[in-house]
Amino acid sequence: MTNFLTLADLTSDEMHDILDLAINIKEAWQAGEETPYLKNKVLGMIFQKPSLRTRVSFDVAMLQLGGNALYLSPNEIQLGKRESVADVARVISRYVDIVMARVFGHYDLVELAEYASVPVINALSDYAHPCQGMADFMTILEKRGGFEGQTLAYLGDGNNVSTSLLFGAALLGMDFTIATPKGYELHPAVWDMGRSLAAETGAQLVATHDPIAAATNADVLYTDAWASMGQEEEAAKRRRIFPPYRIDESKLAPAKDDVIVMHCLPAHRGEEITNAVADGPHSALFDQAENRLHSEKAILVWCLDAA
């Protein structure tokens, strides 16, 4: 049984395998071929947080793979409140073949995986967002043709998305630079893990507080919302601190001429990214969004060893 909790749990070969599978499944889908890898399989989808991309992409992924998805809203399963996480894991494992969970606390996800007897996928936690990371690196692979010699620059908060980007870049041998305001850096334990992974691939991992320095010669520019779900009380403060990290024309200028711009969405246009960039010729925002569908198909198939 294979869980998918963080990209750091993968080997470099496993990450390449999942990306290759995602590309193959997407090409088959575009050619009109059926891909019934998960015929008669059922995915249980546990949501503590609402989502457009996660809900629709996993639901459609199972449909296109020949299976079914069951949506369980925050009111239906209150992890650790109405029923213990361990008991939820034991019960739902009797009904479905695989589980994905979109949670607030990563500890809930870890406990869910510990007690479940079917694979568990992290569809977002406060620690990591590996499904988004896989879609992002799939998009980079399609647009850049590879990872070595490429630099991914992330501007903004040291959050779950940037954690997954650091882990993925380290596994794939892609250089990674993150520019954050002081006090919003990635946790030191994330850096320790990232450096351990990068030791195998030679990826260069850099942290700075200078967004222009980070953007200089970047092949990929990436940003995310300044305040994540659950950080609403901090939003006003963050809107005062983060404007220098906005991706606008001033960040495109020092980057590579063919730089691609990425954002995991939803975007707060005018805050972390301008309309001109989000809708401009460098934008890959909606290719990323589409690739959530195809990369998640590959994750599901990989977890169930159904390829």
Q: What's the maximum distance between 2 C-alpha atoms anywhere in the chain?
A: 55
pLDDT at 45: 97
Q: Are 305 and 97 in contact (CB under 8 A)?
A: no
Of 184, 140, 143, which is closest to residue 165 (Cα–Cα)? 140
pLDDT bucket at 233, cuts 50 / 70 / 90? confident
In angstroms, the Cα distances linking 254 to 214, 251, 272 are 9, 6, 18
Average pLDDT, the chain: 96
Which residues are part of the catalytic machinery?
A: 102, 129, 132, 224, 264, 292
pLDDT class of 230 with cuts at 50, 70, 90: low
pTM of the predicted structure, to 2 decimals = 0.97
Question: What is the rounded distance in angstroms from the CA atom of residue 50 to the CA atom of residue 183?
Answer: 28
Residue for token digits 């009380």?
233
Count the Cβ atoms, other than its own, within 10 Å of residue 143: 14
> Residue 97: pLDDT above 70?
yes
The position carrying tokens 């995915």 is: 43
How far apart are alpha carbons 31 and 27 in whole angstroms?
6
Q: Which residues pair with 100 in a beta bridge?
A: 45, 121
And the tokens for 233?
């009380």
- pLDDT tens across 270-295, in order? 999 999 999 999 999 999 999 999 99
**What would the pLDDT profile of 142-173 be if each residue is shown by its tens digit?**
999 999 999 999 999 999 999 999 999 999 99
Token code pair at residue 8 = 């750091």
Sign of CA dihedral 272, 278, 283, 285: positive
> What is the rounded distance in angstroms from the CA atom of residue 194 to the CA atom of residue 171?
8
Look up tokens 């063919």; give the residue: 258
- Cβ atoms within 10 Å, residue 66: 15
Residues 155-180, buried b or exposed e (16+ Cβ, 10 A)? Answer: bbbbbbbbbbbbbbbbbbbbbbbbbb
* Residue-level pLDDT at 209: 98
| Separation of alpha carbons 188 and 221, rounded Å | 23
Domains, the chain, in order of start with CATH, read 7-129+293-299 (3.40.50.1370), 132-288 (3.40.50.1370)
> Structure tokens of 258?
């063919």
256, two tokens: 């590579």
Query: Is 3 in contact with 99 (CB distance < 8 Å)?
Result: no
Q: CB–CB of 118/96 below 8 Å?
A: yes
Report how far residue 280's alpha carbon sits from residue 188's, in angstroms, rounded to the nearest whole number. 35
pLDDT of residue 79: 79
**186 secondary structure, DSSP code:** P
Closest CA to 168 of 156, 185, 154: 154
Q: What is the pLDDT of residue 49?
A: 87
> What pLDDT shows up at residue 274?
98
Q: What is the pLDDT of residues 48-83, one digit of tens each?
A: 988 999 999 999 999 999 999 999 988 888 777 788
The 10s digit of each residue's pLDDT in 102-128 is 999 999 999 999 999 999 999 999 999
Helices 130-144 and 160-172, axial angle in degrees (round to 10): 50
